[in-house]
Amino acid sequence: MTHIRSHLLAAVAVAGFFMSAPAFAQSSACQDGQKIMAERRSLSDQIGKLSQGGKKIDARSACTIFTKLAANGEAGQKWMTDNKDWCQIPDQALEGFAQQHKQIQKVKGEACGAAAKMAEMEKRAKQQAQQAQQGGLAGKMGGGLTGTLSVPKGAL
């Protein structure tokens, strides 16, 4: 999980760079970009809250937020590419955003992979608990599911 935490912090730091960028020109298309960036800022804040106070990061929550952040990145890249000239987006900002998006996709994969492993482990633990409970009951009833039946020996 510390590996994910370092990626989270790096992603938040890169997101901070874009949040401090000057406001884009106020055309309709540029205002759409501001909405994308505002959503990105909100998602970045949520990621920051996950790692506050040195507490363990919940992989499922991280997966959910990084999935949204990756979708936001797709929309952001498309918007930046389409409106680069009109909204005067520097090449440096576009390149930085693309690098950040790649990093977010990588961390999303790690977080979602960890969440899937957690879900699988919980499923197995639940199945084992059910099997143990069923096995305990069968043992009390004179055997398990072995396919054999004990017949008393001696005179009837």
Q: What whole-number distance in Å separates Cα of residue 113 and Cα of residue 94?
A: 28
Q: What is the mean pLDDT of the chain?
A: 79
Contact 24, 80 (CB under 8 A): no
Least confident among 51-55, 60-64, 135-139: 135-139
The least confident of 39-48, 50-59, 96-105, 124-133 is: 50-59
The tens digit of pLDDT for each residue in 99-145 reads 999 999 999 999 999 999 999 999 999 998 888 887 655 545 544 45
Domain ranges of the chain: 2-122
DSSP collapsed to 3 states, the chain: CHHHHHHHHHHHHHHHHHHCCCCCCCCHHHHHHHHHHHHHHHHHHHHHHHCHHHCCCCHHHHHHHHHHHHHHHHHHHHHHHHHCCCCCCCHHHHHHHHHHHHHHHHHHHHHHHHHHHHHHHHHHHHHHHHHHHHHHHHHHCCCCCCCCCCCCCCCC
Q: Residue 134: what pLDDT?
A: 76
User: What pLDDT shows up at residue 148?
Assistant: 61
- Say what the pLDDT of residue 29 is: 81
* pLDDT reported for residue 150: 66
Joined tokens for residue 34: 């501001």
* Residue 56 pLDDT level (bands cut at 50, 70, 90): confident
Share of the chain above pLDDT 70, in %: 70
